[in-house]
Structure 1
Amino acid sequence: MKKKIIGIFAVLILAGAAGLFSGYKWLQSYAETALTIQQDAYFTLPAGTGRVGLAQLLVDKKIVENIKPFPWLLRAKPELAGFKAGTYKLTPGMSIKDLLLLLRSGKEAQFSIRFIEGLKMQDWLQLLAEAPYINQTLKNLNNSDIAERLEINDPKHPEGWFYPDTYNYTAGTTDISLLKRAHERMKATVDEVWLGRAENLPYKTPYEMMIMASIIEKETALDSERDKVASVFINRMRIGMKLQTDPTVIYGMGSQYNGNITHKDLATPTDYNTYVINGLPPTPIAMPSVASLKAAAHPANTPYLYFVADGKGGHTFTTNLQSHNQAVRSYLQILRAGK
């Protein structure tokens, strides 16, 4: 009788062990089940979400089809629990196990935004407003408000004060924090370029150098020309000649600019119209690149006082008005021939 009872217990134990093994294998198989997504997707896990909440989110977002074994999986494999809040990038072929390991790692999805040199502050604000997963805090703020939040005080205008580059961020990053990163980099860059500038330049402050750099940025996209363009404006400043650069007129016109500049526009006074005012405009007119900052700090040594587009992507530089007018006529002939 004893032997029979022992045998029965042995069978039950073996059966239980087999059941446990079978259940474990089943959960392992479930963990390796692929997510139902067919393309890259972003999944946001809010702070404070527990196991039940996570399971419900995965069903609602159609990321996992069968969620019933999910609680058992987390009990059997506690190393897959302990997930962290954030926004994560999911890719086709990922398994439930891959998903849980990703959520536990805290390696949130990285997004990027490219701030382009030569654009204005308003253009950058538009890029920020359209970028995904950014916490928008700058709506309805004007330039003065933004300058105040970034502690830009003299003058209280943010134009030009941001370093053009691609910036990575995670979901929930604020727009102001991205601008602050760009601002800190630009401040450091301007200070560095200013310290290494050439001697006897007609700038009183690093800010004036940055204003000049913004004009150079708008006048040419060719690195080989930047220092020549800088030399023209430096030469003009040294002899008291007006800068007479169209991009400053356009900036001063603001929303009134429709793509064309008329003689009336050139003669209409604004704070930025360098056909009317003497010297530099009061602020930058765009975000300058490092190349333009360096050109402003190290202009070429030339006798040039004029330049005009040559119709081939570059410019013709001249020393006197007569030669300049001839270069203008040549450019106009190229334009007419191309029509």
Structure 2
Amino acid sequence: MWRHIAANALTFLTVALFLVVGAIGWGTKQFRDPGPLGQAICLQVPSGSNMSAVADQLVENGAVTSPSIFKIGADYSEKSGQLKAGSFRVPPQASMEEIVDIVTRGGRNTCGTQVIYRVGINRTLVDVRELDPATNEFVEIASFDAVDDPRPAEYAEVREGSDTTYQVTIAEGVTSWQIAYSLSELDVLQADVDQTPPEGSLAPESYELRPGEPVSAVLARMTTKQEAILAEAWENRAEGLPLQTPEEALVLASIVEKETGIADERRQVASVFVNRLNQGMRLQTDPTVIYGITQGEGVLGRGLRQSELRAETPWNTYVIEGLPPTPIANPGRASIEAALNPDTTDYIFFVADGTGGHAFATNLDDHNRNVARWREIEAERASDG
């Protein structure tokens, strides 16, 4: 009898084991298979939420069929404790496994409302936009000048939203004073800076902002980024450059940045200044003269006068020998790399060519012809109104 009971028990355990294994296999398949979501959604995960609440939201939105499998899968993958607050785009047919990864991987929000402050040379623009999860494209809600325009109602509304994210984008060639001033004027940040950071020390890139964050903290991030960019570029610099320190490279890069906005020209422009330095020629570049007048505080807004070209300032490269004592703006990565790896050319002159770019020359005669052609273009434009 005991042998019969043991045999039945063994059979029962075997069947139970198969059922458990089958259930696990079925659950794993459900967790990893494409989900039922027909159209992408924006999933809001508030601070302090948990996987159970997220699972309930997903069921309501038709993204998962079983909240239990979702929670068990998150626990089994040891990601339940890694849930991040934010706004996340869940794509169509996303599996439960993919959704768990989306809400736990961290990083910037992938949907919701976004405010972008664009600090440029002449003004600071504010763009308010919202991601359409169905198309995965941003739709503009409002756009205005941060200084001259009144705040639109749409901006006030998104500023109250918990899912709104903020970003500042710094244009290449903006001065440190312009950056510090513009950031201090943003109502999303805490103004706590009364001194201008060293010129050239701030990396012109995009940065996430946290509401109430001190301006000094944002500037510190920009400084750290620029230091890293400069150090890497200096490490990979070409041989034989007339630059003794990374700081001199930053000065040259800032001049290149202000002289051309054409990406393909940066290394050519850099070659002109490197050739001039090697030959003991003055750099004779207008942006340095302008910086000597404005000190980077605002835009000159007019052409240079002959008296200003002759005036002795530490930055007037028509007067001084070699490089000016400081950068004249904050150069971007591309200009820093161009200054430290210029093209190999014999160019020592360049002038605007009317297309947005420049005409380069190796001798004064050719340069004078290029200048004459540029004067003709200017005259034609003036006559056309």
TM-score (norm 2): 0.56
Number of aligned residue pairs: 224
- The letter of the residue matching 1:243 is L
The answer to whether the Cα contact below 8 Å between 1:109 and 1:170 also exists between their aligned partners in 2 is no
Name the CA distance, whole Å, in 2 between partners of 1:116 and 1:128: 13
- The letter of the residue matching 1:239 is Q
- Structure 1's unaligned 5+ residue stretches are 1-83, 92-106, 148-157
The answer to whether the Cα contact below 8 Å between 2:276 and 2:348 also exists between their aligned partners in 1 is yes
Counterpart of 1:121 in structure 2 is 176
- The letter of the residue matching 1:134 is L
- Structure 2 counterparts to residues 159-174 of structure 1, below 5 A: 159-174=199-214
Name the CA distance, whole Å, in 1 between partners of 2:213 and 2:365: 55
Please say which structure displays the higher CA radius of gyration. Answer: 1
Alpha-carbon offset, residue 326 of structure 1:
1.1
Q: Is 1:175 aligned to residue 215 of structure 2?
A: yes
Name the CA distance, whole Å, in 1 between partners of 2:335 and 2:188: 32
SS of residue matched to 2:227? helix
Alpha-carbon offset, residue 126 of structure 1:
2.6
Q: Is 1:111 aligned to residue 154 of structure 2?
A: no
TM-score (norm 1): 0.63
Counterpart of 2:313 in structure 1 is 270
Counterpart of 2:232 in structure 1 is 192
Which one of 248, 251, 260 corresponds to residue 220 of structure 1?
260
The answer to whether the Cα contact below 8 Å between 1:111 and 1:170 also exists between their aligned partners in 2 is yes
The answer to whether the Cα contact below 8 Å between 1:164 and 1:182 also exists between their aligned partners in 2 is yes
Name the CA distance, whole Å, in 1 between partners of 2:353 and 2:251: 25
Name the CA distance, whole Å, in 2 between partners of 1:209 and 1:236: 15
Name the CA distance, whole Å, in 1 between partners of 2:304 and 2:179: 24
Name the CA distance, whole Å, in 1 between partners of 2:307 and 2:113: 54
Question: Which ranges of 4 or more aligned residues in structure 1 deviate by more than 6 Å?
Answer: 88-91
- The letter of the residue matching 2:223 is H
Counterpart of 1:207 in structure 2 is 247
Which one of 142, 146, 149 corresponds to residue 195 of structure 2?
142
Higher helix fraction (1 or 2): 1
- The letter of the residue matching 1:290 is R
Alpha-carbon offset, residue 249 of structure 1:
0.1
Which one of 314, 317, 321 corresponds to residue 364 of structure 2?
321
CA gap 1:180/1:268 in 2 versus in 1, 3 angstroms:
same
Tell me which of the two structures has the higher relative contact order, counting C-alpha pairs closer than 8 angstroms and 6 or more residues apart: 1
- The letter of the residue matching 1:299 is P
Name the CA distance, whole Å, in 2 between partners of 1:276 and 1:207: 21
The answer to whether the Cα contact below 8 Å between 2:184 and 2:190 also exists between their aligned partners in 1 is no
- Structure 2 counterparts to residues 72-111 of structure 1, below 5 A: 109-111=164-166
Counterpart of 1:250 in structure 2 is 290
Q: Please report the RMSD computed on the Cα atoms of aligned residues, expressed in angstroms.
A: 2.2
- The letter of the residue matching 1:142 is Q
Alpha-carbon offset, residue 110 of structure 1:
2.1
- Structure 2's unaligned 5+ residue stretches are 1-84, 86-111, 115-129, 131-161
Higher strand fraction (1 or 2): 2
Fraction of identical pairs, as percent: 40
Name the CA distance, whole Å, in 1 between partners of 2:368 and 2:245: 34
SS of residue matched to 1:111? strand
**Structure 1 residues 46-73: Cα deviation after superposition (integer angstroms, max 9, x where no partner):** xxxxxxxxxxxxxxxxxxxxxxxxxxxx
SS of residue matched to 1:270? coil
SS of residue matched to 2:167? strand
Name the CA distance, whole Å, in 1 between partners of 2:224 and 2:190: 20
